[in-house]
Structure 1
Amino acid sequence: MNFSESLDKLVSLVTGDLADLRQLLVALLIGTVILVFFIYLSRWIKKIVRIRLAKRTEDSLLADFIAAGIRFIVLIFGITLVLRFLGLTGAVSGILAGAGITAFIIGFALKDIGENFLAGILLAFKRPFKIGDLVEIQGISGNVRALNLRDTQIKTLDGKDVFLPNASIIKSPLINFTIDGYLSYGFKLGLGYGCDYGKAMALITETLNRVPGVLSGQKGPLALVSEMGDSSLLIRVSYWVNTYDREHADHLVRSAAVLAVLEALEEAGYPLPGRIIELKGALPGDENQSQT
């Protein structure tokens, strides 16, 4: 083989490799375009499905979950299509079939994902809570913000976002404080002995009825005797609020209720004694002072 033939062979090899590389780059570019298309398509479909479901059902939690599930299916279809276009489906299947340890690890990881996904489906259709409900799960209290495919987002009362796995919610006791939209609050106060207790309790309920956000009627405020304290008669005050009333936040209503009752009782001249402790005998240090 002379120099000219060797050079021609080298050029043909390089040209063939460049052609293969060009073909691979074109395939990767087309695959990327297809994947990006399906990403945007899944988002658009999720938005349309959520809007359509929101018109047919009042449960926004269920609508969001179904829309997210459909978006996930569209994404999986798009990824599968890209792999088939690149001719990688056989290679991926061969790798997973040949690597037993890898398959075991992936299967173990997907077990938790599948468990949380199925738990999310149960939560979406069983509906133990809705968006905005005040719940307590595993000692965590807050408002439900979203039900995702894997977890549920809780906004705590101090502003933290907590993401609880759906499977743990299914397995744990759940307290829903606002499933019917109503929540009861209360506090205790002491009335000094000897005052007109009936008029004082009537004044308390009348005052609470004027506080914005406090419900009236069948769920109106109550003032009942709780017990007899050492220096005062303890009164248990309770009232209801509508948690769906976005105009009056619960914590602001609670603060306004306590302040309004205290100011009304003080203006009416009712004594609100603190806890009085009577000490008998000499106080520590008195004997030393008397000897000096």
Structure 2
Amino acid sequence: MIPTLSQILDLSFLDTFFYIIIILIVAYISLHILSSIITKFWKKFNMDLTILYLITDLLKYIILIFALAWILKLIGIDLQGIIISLGLIGIVVGFAAKDVFSNFIGGIFLITDKNIKVGEIISVDDLKGKVSKVTFRNTEIITVDGFRVTIPNSTLNTEMYVNYPKLELNKIVLEVLVPFGIDLKAFSDDFVEKFEEKSWVMSGKKPIVYDMDISEFGSQVKLFIWVNDYTKVSEYTLELGDEVRQIIEKHNKNKVLKIEKKV
């Protein structure tokens, strides 16, 4: 049972410490349970994860404030006096915490504008990645290299950023020179057939060969494939290049054999 104010002064140090531990444990368990309930509800109805992260972030601050107020009351600190004191030093605190408030306001703008959502691809300040989490203070993205980058919300409200189409990070684009004498249709069919069988290539997204231009050495084409794990794009690009080289070599050999037969 939590003591009344009249009992507070009679508590020993160990009693006070015990009650503080109890308050912290209750706050932690409450946050965990409420977050779990909200998350299950949100995912059950397939709702926007961006709002989910913001609600759980707000819930964390509310529980933290209540726990802190309870602890201060328990150790006999006058909350009313603190509030008055904060009014006297508000200007100093305001300057010290201007970045925190700026990021918080930025988070509110992100919520109302709905420009950035979890799962979308954005780039800002030469950083490009998938939005993994949005809170009132920061937005977290995961880059192609698998790095987690935290961007202050104030930056997203003052700097220009780009929203890319879905699966942009999963796309690999490779420019290839196909020598003259190789049938582009046969090359395209071999490329599509070979990479549709790859387990790391996204099903439902057919590889594409796009004929760009003709140079003095052959046809310049662009190859497009979409992979399941965008953090392994560099690894898959190397395999793509090696496989394409083998396809070109195979068609070159067939071209030589046809010439020899004609001769």
**What TM-score bracket applies, with the shorter chain setting the length?**
0.7 to 0.9
Percent of pairs identical after alignment? Answer: 20
What is the 5 A alignment of 1:150-165? 150-165=137-152
Q: What is the aligned partner in structure 1 of residue 217 from structure 2?
A: 231
Match of 2:35 in 1: 50
Deviations 1:178-236 (A, max 9, x none): 6468843211111222333332233223223223333466x422223211223222112
Residue aligned with 1:269, SS: helix
Q: CA deviation at 1:88?
A: 2.8
Q: Give ranges in structure 2 of 5+ residues lacking alignment.
A: 1-7, 255-263
Give deviations 1:3-46, integer Å, cap 9, x for gaps: xxxxxxxxxxxxxxxxxxxx879476555544443433332222
Query: Which letter maps to 1:188?
Result: E
Q: What is the rounded CA distance, in whole Å, between the counterparts of 1:249 and 1:158 in structure 2?
A: 7
User: Which residue identity does 2:153 align to in structure 1?
Assistant: N
Question: In structure 1, how many angstroms separate the alpha carbons of the residues matched to 2:51 and 2:253?
Answer: 52
Other structure's SS at 2:173 match: strand
Please show how residues 244-263 of structure 1 align to structure 2 within 5 Å: 245=228, 249-263=232-246
1:114-133: per-residue Cα shift (whole Å, max 9, x none)? 332233344457272315x5
Aligned to 1:88: 78
Shift in alpha-carbon separation, 1:96–1:186, aligned structure 2, 3 A? closer
Using the alignment, how far apart are the partners of 1:250 and 1:70 within structure 2?
Answer: 37
For residues 236 and 214 of structure 1, the distance between their equivalents in structure 2, rounded to whole angstroms, comes to 17
TM-score (norm 2): 0.73
How many correspondences in the alignment?
241
- Match for residue 266 of structure 1? 249
Matches of residues 9-158 of structure 1 in structure 2 within 5 Å?
26=11, 32-58=17-43, 59-85=48-74, 86-97=76-87, 99=88, 102-123=89-110, 126=114, 128-130=116-118, 133-158=120-145
Whether the 8 Å contact between 1:177 and 1:183 is mirrored in structure 2 is no
Structure 1 residue 159 displacement after superposition: 4.6
TM-score, structure 1 length as denominator?
Answer: 0.67
Q: Give the conservation status (yes or no) of the 8 Å contact 1:186–1:237.
A: yes
What is the correspondence of 1:143-292 to structure 2 with a 5 Å cutoff? 143-177=130-164, 179=166, 183-215=170-202, 219-241=205-227, 245=228, 249-269=232-252
Letter in 1 for 2:239: A
1:165 CA drift (Å)? 0.9
Offset at residue 80 of structure 1 (A) = 2.0
- Unmatched 5+ stretches in structure 1: 1-22, 272-292
Q: SS at 1:268's partner residue?
A: helix
**Counterpart contact for 1:213–1:248, Cα < 8 Å:** no
